[in-house]
Structure 1
Amino acid sequence: MLDPNYNLAGIAVKRRKPNKWFKRGTLNRRALDVLRMAGEPMTAGEIGAAILKAHGVEDASPEEARNVSLGIQHSLANHDGKGVQRVGEARPYRWQLSAEQLN
């Protein structure tokens, strides 16, 4: 790993596959909008289904819907305590807006 003779050209850059419906950064904002309208804690899967329905996406394969839900789950986990919070310890996690977001 620290060998100065190691050829770094063989290490490929990890490329992300863009979502075909949402630009980068919009899923978190849409998830917050869904949580504001819901008024109750929701799982990432429920939030993803609501976002796809609101966006008018009806032809999503199960894999594409799961990818949207996973993107939401990771985004909410990154923002845990900063606008959203987990409710309970059970899995799948249920999410709600934190007190400062409700005002």
Structure 2
Amino acid sequence: MKAEICTKQARFTLERLHAELGGKILENKKEAQRLAADMKHVEAVLKMLDPSYSIRSIAVRRRKPNPYFKRGTIFRSVLEILRDAPEPMTTSEITSRLFALKGVAQPSREDFRNLFGGVHASLRNNEEKSVRAVGDEHPAKWSVI
């Protein structure tokens, strides 16, 4: 008798899960249709601006989220590191310190390169606003203004 109750509960739960997943699929199909229509409108405006423009040259942009930092938080962490640093630091040193703060002792080469790129872009975007490159050395050493 006990196994029969568990089976009924499992069946009921699985049926509800199946129905929810089906609903999500329908929502995503509708969203895909809306996005496709939006893209066609953008393409039409591009053609109005320049009839000879090739839309095929536009690459699809895929964002891969950073597994260590949420969007918009890298530069804040960089500023904290630079404020605590006794002397200016290179982008590589900052990146290594960020991994240490996250508890990653040996990041993969790809992870290091990806985070390095984010740190470097953040520093360049905020150059002379809140950070500055110190001296004419290469690689540049950064400090807070």
Aligned residues: 97
- Equivalent residue number for residue 90 of structure 2: 43
Q: When the two structures are superposed, what TM-score results if normalisation uses the length of structure 1?
A: 0.82
- Unpaired runs of 5+ residues, structure 1, are 99-103
1:54-65 matched pairs, under 5 angstroms: 54-65=101-112
In 2, distance between residues paired with 1:7 and 1:66? 33
RCO greater where, 1 or 2, for CA within 8 Å and sep 6 or more?
Answer: 1
User: Greater helix percent: which structure?
Assistant: 2
- Equivalent residue number for residue 69 of structure 2: 22
> What SS does the aligned partner of 2:107 have?
coil
Cα displacement string for residues 52-89 of structure 1 (whole angstroms, at most 9, x for unaligned residues): 10111234201211211121011010000111001012
CA RMSD of aligned residues (A): 2.0
- Unpaired runs of 5+ residues, structure 2, are 1-46
1:93 aligns with 2:137: no
Contact 1:45 1:66 in 2 (8 A): no
Contact 1:44 1:70 in 2 (8 A): no
> Which structure has the greater CA radius of gyration?
2
- Equivalent residue number for residue 3 of structure 1: 51
- Over 6 Å off, 4+ runs: none
Identity %: 42
